[in-house]
Amino acid sequence: MKVALGGGSVLIWKPDEAIDDSTLALVDCDLCFDGMREEVLNLEVCKTGMLLNLGQVEAIRKLKPHTRVIASRWVVARKSETRVRARIVAKDIARGPSAKQLGYSSPTPSVEGLGLVLSVISEYDMRIRGLDISHAFMHSPLGSESVVLKMPLSVNMLDGSVAYLNLDKALNGLRDASLRWLTLLSDTIKRVGVWADNLEPCIYQGTVSHRGKTVGLVCLVVYVDDILLGSSCEKAEQVVVDAIASVVPTKTTGMVMPSQEGGGSLTFIGRTVVRRPGEKALWLSVDPEYLTPCFKDYGVKKGSSAAPDVAAFLEKTDEQSTKPLTAEGYQVFRKCLGKLLWLAQTRHDVKAWLSLVGSVQSNPTVAADQALKAILRFLFDDRYTQLRMPSESLELTCDGGRVMTQLNVWSDDRTPHIDSINERASQDLSSLT
């Protein structure tokens, strides 16, 4: 198929076979071809670069010796029964200085930062709006750097030769693509009075101005191309949205209104944020089905209310317990541990257990596998837990403007008390959630 690209035209060839890069499952070739065509069209719409042949690339390298020529490949993902996404991703392999030495950065907000922003939004009963940015990298200028992308072989010149793209914009896979996008976003919203935090560069806050007048307060959490926007009023919210939409295509993914306007829910980076009508508090949770694949892999069909004694599993020294996992068992173990560690970002009660299991993840044993299964049993019946902000714990009381807290401290130097400590800790954590 012939399509326009970068001031010329290229041919896109339909693949004989296509595989989802995440699941390694075969995907429909016709749908994959539709995704490939859509990607090249997006490159053209975003004015990502100028089409070149090999001779033109060599001429550029003579004029600019520091020009980088980077290969690329297709990354395929099956999004639904009727859609396959295909992206051209640069293979910007690290050579020489590290990304840190070069000044490149791909930051993401910490879960503590997200929790802090949600707490502020809850306290002041602010509006929340979820935003999704389409092709954030493709809209982000590269600056003075000279980069030429060698297109995949399925995209070539009309004479069949290799096609190249002299990039003006960033692209998935470039080491500094995320930095370019954050720079574009920061420069854009700074114009309406919103600034990045010094310690958390993906968290923004400020007093929004419009036509010389202050209209309200906002705070943002930016996770690559997903944005959570909290605002004190609709006008401030819309000013920020309009500013972002002026440079990149922006889509609203959800809204949560103030308590007296009915609340609502939205999903941000896999987590559900809910406000109930008439209640300022926010509830943060993960889809209860998130761990279903892990329960299936480990054959967990029944839960346990007892807190798992992870240390006892890891301290076993019998021959069976100390056997290393098989290659297949290791893959299952690593996949499940990864999902649990992501869950733990909003389930602080399981962090200590997972830190113990994670300490042996490079060479897990049967005992470590049993410990992981014990954690899954505990979570089987506990997967509907939600994190409330602010907490309703009875141990937090206000007194004359001060917040009184009760701190419980235990020592593990007396082994007989470990079981009772685990049980008490489980009860305390359950009361908090």
What is the radius of gyration, based on Cα positions, of the chain? 26
Query: What is residue 36's predicted lDDT score, i.e. its pLDDT?
Result: 95
Tell me if 279 sits within 8 A of 321, measured CB to CB: no
Structure tokens belonging to residue 48: 């990502």
Question: Residue 40, exposed/middle/buried by CB under 10 A (0-12, 13-18, 19+)?
Answer: buried
pTM for the whole structure = 0.78
| For helices 366-380 and 351-358, angle between their N-to-C axes, nearest 10 degrees | 160
Query: What is residue 108's predicted lDDT score, i.e. its pLDDT?
Result: 83
Structure tokens belonging to residue 232: 């004190």
Query: What is residue 192's predicted lDDT score, i.e. its pLDDT?
Result: 94
| For helices 366-380 and 327-343, angle between their N-to-C axes, nearest 10 degrees | 40
CA distances from 113 to 110, 122, 185, 209 (A): 5, 14, 19, 25
Taking alpha carbons only, the member of 333, 339, 337, 357 closest to residue 290 is 339
Strand order in the sheet with 8-12: 2-5, 8-12, 155-157
Query: What is residue 223's predicted lDDT score, i.e. its pLDDT?
Result: 93
Query: What is residue 95's predicted lDDT score, i.e. its pLDDT?
Result: 56
Mean pLDDT by 10 residues, the chain (433 residues): 93 92 87 95 94 94 92 92 92 63 66 89 95 93 89 93 94 87 94 90 92 92 95 96 95 96 94 94 92 94 91 93 93 92 86 92 93 95 87 57 60 46 42 41
The total of other beta-carbon atoms located within 10 Å of residue 231's CB is 24
Tell me if 193 sits within 8 A of 206, measured CB to CB: yes
The total of other beta-carbon atoms located within 10 Å of residue 320's CB is 10
CA distances from 316 to 76, 136, 313, 366 (A): 44, 50, 6, 10
CA distances from 319 to 257, 285, 322, 364, 367 (A): 58, 40, 5, 14, 10
**Cis ω before 390 (30° cut-off from 0):** yes
The CA-based diameter of the chain, rounded to the nearest angstrom, is 80
At position 135, the amino acid (one-letter code) is H
Question: Residue 255, exposed/middle/buried by CB under 10 A (0-12, 13-18, 19+)?
Answer: middle
Write out the E strands in 211-307.
213-223, 226-231, 250-256, 264-268, 271-275, 282-286
Indicate the pairing of strand 147-150 with strand 68-78: parallel
Query: What is residue 80's predicted lDDT score, i.e. its pLDDT?
Result: 87
Query: What is residue 424's predicted lDDT score, i.e. its pLDDT?
Result: 42
Tell me if 230 sits within 8 A of 128, measured CB to CB: yes
